Amino acid sequence: QLQLQESGPGLVKPSGTLSLSCTVSGVSISRSTYYWGWIRQPPERGLEWIGNLHYNGNTYYSPSLVSRVTISVDTSKNQVSLRLSSVTAADTAVYYCAGFGDFDAFDIWGQGTMVSVSS
Amino acid sequence: QSALTQPASVSGSPGQSITMSCSGTSSDVGAYKLVSWYQLHAGKAPKLLIYEVNERPSGVSYRFSGSKSGNTASLTISGLQSEDEADYYCCSYAGSSTYVFGSGTKVTVL
C-alpha cells in the first residue's frame, strides 16, 4: 500500500532555507510512473500548489515560487525532497507531499508537516 | 495564476443535498477536463473525492458527484452525513504542467 510521510524541521529562521523530505513506502520511486508533488496550506488559508516532479525527472513549479523552490528525488532513500529558499513568515504552513498517478489528480497524500518561519 | 473561487461555507441538514462551486477561468477550469476535488479533515491526510470533473475513485461514496459548466465546476454531496463535515478544495490543471487550487469551502452539517 502506497504511503507518504513528510519530515523535517518544524521551525526555520527568516531568510533561511526550508528543507523537507517525503518518504515513499509501498512503491519504488525509480520504478514508478507517479508524479510527486508538494502542496502547502498556510494557517487559515487554502491549499497552494508548490510544484511537481515527474517520473522522467522534469520539474514544474508554481510561477509565484519558481525562483525559490527546488523539488528533487533521492532514489536510494525513496524520498522526494522540497527546498524553499529565502523564507519569510508568509511561508509558514502545513506542507503536504502527494502522489499524482493514474487519475490525473493527487490521489495519495501524506498527513502533512507544520513548518513555522520565525526568529 | 490566481486561486479558484469557492464559497467560504456551505451548510445543510442530514439527508439533504448540497452543492459547492469552483469558479475559474478559460485558462484553467474552462480549458481542461482536469478538475479534481479533495476532502480535508483536520489532522488527517487529504482525500481525493473526484477526478477528471466527474469520476470517482474506487472506495469513494456515490454520494459525491462532480460536474462542470464553462469556467465553473461543482461538487454535490447528496444524503449529507455528519462525517461529511470537513473542508473541500477543488483543483484544476492550468496549462504548462501547472495546477491551481480553490480557496476552499467549509461544509457544516446542521
Give me the pLDDT at residue A54, please.
87
Separation of alpha carbons B29 and A27, rounded Å? 31
Q: B50-104, pLDDT tens digit by residue?
A: 999 999 999 999 999 999 999 999 999 999 999 999 999 999 999 999 999 999 9
Dihedral angle, C-alpha A47, B98, B58, A111, nearest 10 °: -40
Q: Which residues of B touch A109 (CB under 8 A)?
A: 45-47
The answer to whether B107 and B11 are in contact (CB under 8 A) is yes
Q: A54-111, pLDDT tens digit by residue?
A: 878 899 999 999 999 999 999 899 999 999 999 999 999 999 999 988 888 999 999 9
**Residue owning grid cell 522526494:** A80
Q: B13-62, pLDDT tens digit by residue?
A: 999 999 999 999 999 999 999 999 999 998 899 999 999 999 999 999 99
Across the interface, of A39, A60, A104, the residue whose CB is closest to B98 is A60
Give me the pLDDT at residue B64, please.
98
Is B3 touching A (CB cutoff 8 A)?
A: yes
Separation of alpha carbons A30 and A9, rounded Å? 26
Q: Which residues, 6+ apart, have CB-to-CB distance to B62 below 8 Å? A: B56
Q: Do B45 and A52 touch (CB under 8 A)?
A: no
Which whole-number Å values give the CA distances from B103 to A17, B13, B23, B40, B63, in the listed order? Answer: 27, 23, 10, 13, 23
Taking the CA of residue A112 and the nearest CA in chain B, the distance in Å comes to 7
**Cell numbers linked to A52:** 511537481
